[in-house]
Amino acid sequence: MVTPGAPASGSPAGVGAHVQSPASGSGVAGRKTPERSDIQALRAAAVALVLLNHLWPHRLTGGYIGVDVFFVISGFLITSGLVTRPPQRPRDLAAFWGRRVRRLLPAACLVLILTLLAVLKWGPLTVVPNTAHQAIASAFYVQNWVLAGNATDYFAANQTSTAVQHFWSLSVEEQFYLVWPVLILALTWLARRFHWRSVYQIGLASVLLVSFAASVWYTARAPSAAYFVTFTRAWELATGGLLAVMVSRGLVVRSRALRAGLAWGGLLVIGVSALVLNSTSAFPGAVAAAPVLGTAVVIAAASDGVAGGPWSIWRIRPIQVLGDISYSVYLWHWPVILLAPDALHITLSWKHKLALAAVVLVVSWLSKRFVEDTFRYRPGLITSLPRTFLLGLTAMLLVVATSIATTQWAQHLVQQDRQRIGSIATGFPEKCVGAGVLLASNCPAIAPDFLFVAPADAKENPWLNCNTFAPYTPPSRCTFGAADGPRRVLLIGNSHANQWAPLLDTLGKEHGWSGITMTASGCMPYIGMTIDYGPNTDGCKKLGDAMLAEAVSGRYDLVVYSSWPNDPIIGRDDHWAAVAESQLRVFDAITTAGVGLLVLRDTPHAVVNLPDCISTHRTDMDTCDYPDLTATQSVDAMYAIADGSARPKVWTVNVNDLICEFGVCHAVVGGLITYHDDNHLSVAFANSLAPRVEPALKDALG
pLDDT of residue 159: 52
Q: What are phi and psi of 454, to 5 degrees?
A: -60, 150
Q: Is the peptide bond before 444 cis (omega within 30 degrees of 0)?
A: no
**DSSP type of residue 664:** E
State the burial class of residue 627 (Cβ atoms within 10 Å of its Cβ: 0-12, 13-18, 19+): middle
Provide the pLDDT for residue 2.
Answer: 31
Tell me the percentage of the chain whose pLDDT exceeds 90.
77
- Phi, psi angles (nearest 5°) of residue 199: -65, -40
Length of the chain: 702
Stated pTM of the model: 0.86
199-256 per-position pLDDT tens digit: 999 999 999 999 999 999 999 888 888 999 999 999 999 999 999 999 998 888 999 9
pLDDT digits (tens, 9 = 90+) for 2-32: 322 333 334 444 443 444 443 333 333 333 4
Is the per-residue pLDDT at 634 higher than 90? no
In SS3 terms, 411-443 reads as HHHHHHHHHHHHHHHCCCCHHHCCCHHHHCCCC
Rounded average pLDDT over 133-153: 88
Contacts for 48-53 with beta carbons within 8 Å, 24 or more apart? 48/322, 49/9, 49/10, 49/274, 50/9, 50/10, 50/330, 50/333, 51/329, 51/333, 51/357, 51/360, 53/6, 53/9, 53/274
* DSSP collapsed to 3 states, 579-617: HHHHHHHHHHHHHHCCCEEEEECCCCCCCCCHHHHHHHC
Residue pLDDT, tens place only, 286-320:
999 999 999 999 999 999 999 999 999 999 999 99
Model confidence pLDDT, tens digit, residues 49-58: 999 999 999 9
Q: Which of 12-26, 199-213, 432-446, 680-694 has the lowest mean pLDDT?
A: 12-26
In whole angstroms, give the CA distance from residue 533 to residue 380. 56
pLDDT band at 161 (very low <50, low <70, confident <90, very high): confident
On the question of pLDDT at 633 being above 80, the answer is no
Strands (E) located in 482-525 = 487-494, 513-520
pLDDT of residue 474: 84
What percentage of the chain exceeds 70 in pLDDT? 94
Mean of pLDDT over the chain: 90
Q: What is the pLDDT, as a whole number, of residue 224?
A: 84
Q: Choose the weakest-confidence range: 88-97, 340-349, 531-540, 687-696.
A: 531-540
Using the predicted structure, report yes or no on whether residue 546 has a pLDDT greater than 80.
yes
pLDDT for 255 equals 93
3-state secondary structure of 379: helix
Residue 614 pLDDT? 95
Predicted pLDDT at 34? 53
CB atoms within 10 A of CB 143: 27
Q: Which domains, ranges and CATH numbers included, belong to the chain?
A: 22-406 (no CATH), 454-701 (3.40.50.1110)
- pLDDT, tens only, 363-393: 999 999 999 999 999 999 999 999 999 999 9
